[in-house]
Amino acid sequence: MSEQIGLFGESNDSHSDIAQNAMKRVQELHQLLHKYNHQYYVLDDPTVPDSEYDSLFHELKALEAETPEFVTADSPTQRVGDKPLSEFKSVTHEMPMLSLDNVFNEEEMRAFDLKIKKLLGLQDSAKVEYACEPKLDGIAASLLYENGVLVRGATRGDGSRGEDITMNLRTVPSIPLRLTGSGFPARLEVRGEVYMPKRGFEKLNENALAAGEKAFVNPRNAAAGSLRQLDPKLTAKRPLEFCCYSVGIVEGGSLPDSHFEVLNQFKEWGFLTNAEMRCVKGVDGCIEYYEALSEKRDSLQYEIDGIVFKVNAFELQDRLGFVSRAPRWAIAHKFPAQEKITILQDVEFQVGRTGAITPVGRLDPVFVGGVTVSNVTLHNMDEVHRLGLMIGDSVVVRRAGDVIPQVVKIVEDRRPDSAKSVVMPAVCPVCSSDIERTEGEAVARCTGGLVCAAQRKEAFVHFASRKAMDIDGLGEKLINVLVEKDMVTRLADIFRLESSALAALDRMGEKSAEKLLKSLENSKETTFARFLYSLGIREVGEATAQNLANAFGNLDNLIAASEERLNEVEDIGPIVAAYIVHFFANGSNRDAVSDLVAQGVHWKDVEVADPEDLPLLGFTYVLTGTLETMSRGDGKEMLQRLGAKVAGSVSKKTSCVVAGPGAGSKLAKAEELGVDVIDEAAFILFLKGHGINLD
């Protein structure tokens, strides 16, 4: 039988051998280049000269060009994508990326430690073990690995949703495209900070100035701008690093039992961890660490704005849980705020979405906390009077980290004879409507409503924002133009905008106009909670809007609700209930809502349980200790399904406390008040008796 000839002019057997050899060499080059890359960028300990690395890299690139079927997503040649993106896609975090509460001095740090011990039921003399890490001044990011390969990278965003910046994060050399070693979970989310080292930042600015371009103000801004590039090739040119600091999703595997051990495990899998991280016992150890790193701060190769302290043991973290959007078991001890003195040149009054009149100080520009500050909010006239502020005063301006700049005091002995008092105007500076101040409130308000262009602008900005209707492309600048040209006066008018009118605006054009119209059309499909939040009802934030949606299910039920009924909803008191009733009692507001629905804004009604199916309606439960067959979150969800309110603390109003092993102060409080207490076994029987399936 004659030998068959392959496509390359060789026998099929010969071609197969060549392919196998090529594949083997590609795999060898992958391993070598990942190893050398890790040694250079993560360990800062290169073992081969750059020329050797470059030679191997070019060999791999040539091999992949000849055999493209062997190109994989984790190949060292694939760090930088070929095509720029048109936009970043939104990513919903499967596990929210929470923020941290702050302390600013030793007294507050000791109070935090004491609170931790009380929550855990420990003696005041006990020493909790804390993991300590420098708080890098960069951008939080999430990396998702599946079977050890990087599949997605995202920004923190608002904590619930961020942006998919996978292609940009792949260009960061200290981010492994494939994990090294073994034993990692099938799905693993690693969280950390993308930052720009000081020397890289200085070099970037040198090159920018040499090219006649604008320099970045600080490394954090440079890092943020680098990650926002739609072309990953531009990001790849920026000297970015990624340092991991926590874990998110873990599926199909397990991790060590403490935060410190997990970070050390991540280091073995190829991640950069901070060389300054330590584990200490007790609050005195935390304070010593803070003081030591404060002295070392200026010599570090990266910017930090404080120290993060985390209860080290995951079991204790689980017992401590979360409050609002922050964990109870972690705190950021920020470095002292940076302060500068400047002159208050004038005070102007701005009008907000709800008509709130806010005094804004105009300053002699001053560089403080990494930015140039020329404007500062003075909050309200009570704050102006508290400070004793006059126009012409020398003022101390403070900015710490990302905190909004604020005037903290005046330098009274520098006050000039020409200083003038700050006076609240009698009428709105935008529409000349009367300004009124309700007794008991600190804020004065314009009475003009939507007659006031400023309130219209702010109402549209809020309506279009990401957490509300999420209308991509409808930003503040465009809204200002639309309002000033009277192209929109009611919220629903934005859905009546036409392509030709939009295209005629400066810097729009047909393509941008069509893109905005598409975004407007997409935004019409929303949720009941988002829609309620978008209306801008006073004191109705995201959480309150969601509670209202869950409680009433649809718009008709909510509009018909009395203040008494609204008071029964979690998170709503008499004041908020009154705001909601007054909002829907206003005919103009109801017309605005009807108009939006008529323009196609729609949502699915939320299924609301019949009160007869809520046997625990009106009862308040507290969960404490460790539950062995379920998480406390699961227990809370089951109680809420039965109509119960689940609180975080015990009081006379508490109906029952579910106490698992390790229950401390809450159990003691319940016993002191004579509140019913049940263990986990009784709790499970109770749930099953009310039809909750635990299987």
Residues with catalytic function: 135
Q: What are phi and psi of 280, to 5 degrees?
A: -130, 160
Helices 12-41/50-66 angle, 10° precision: 150
Residue 395 β-bridge partners = 342, 410
Could you tell me which residues are beta bridge partners of residue 161? Answer: 92
Q: Which residues contact 111 (CB under 8 A, 6 or more apart)?
A: 103
Token pair 């990087």 is found at 150
CB atoms < 10 A from the CB of 493, how many?
A: 17
Pairing status of strand 435-436 against strand 444-446: antiparallel
Enclosing H/E stretch for 506: none
The residues facing 527 across adjacent strands are 604
Distance between first and last Cα of the chain: 65
677 and 134 Cβ atoms separated by less than 8 Å: no
Closest to 166 measured CA to CA, from 227, 238, 242: 227
Tokens found for residue 253: 């595997």
What count of Cα atoms within 13 Å lies in the side-chain half-sphere of residue 312?
Answer: 21
Handedness of CA 487, 493, 494, 495 (dihedral sign): negative
- The number of residues in the chain equals 695
Strand order in the sheet with 278-281: 102-103, 330-334, 304-311, 129-136, 278-281
| Spatial separation of the C-alpha atoms in residues 430 and 427, rounded to whole Å | 9
Query: Using an 8 Å Cβ cutoff, are 115 and 269 in contact?
Result: no
**Which of 351-385 are b and which e, b meaning 16 or more Cβ less than 10 Å from the residue's Cβ?**
bbbbbbbbbebebeebebbbeebeebebbbbeebe
Structure tokens at 484: 């000033």
CA distances from 660 to 319, 640, 645, 678, 683 (A): 10, 19, 19, 9, 10
Sequence-distant contacts of 23-30: CB under 8 A, at least 24 apart = 23/67, 23/70, 25/63, 26/60, 26/63, 26/64, 26/67, 26/70, 26/75, 29/56, 29/59, 29/60, 29/63, 29/76, 30/60, 30/72, 30/74, 30/75, 30/76, 30/178
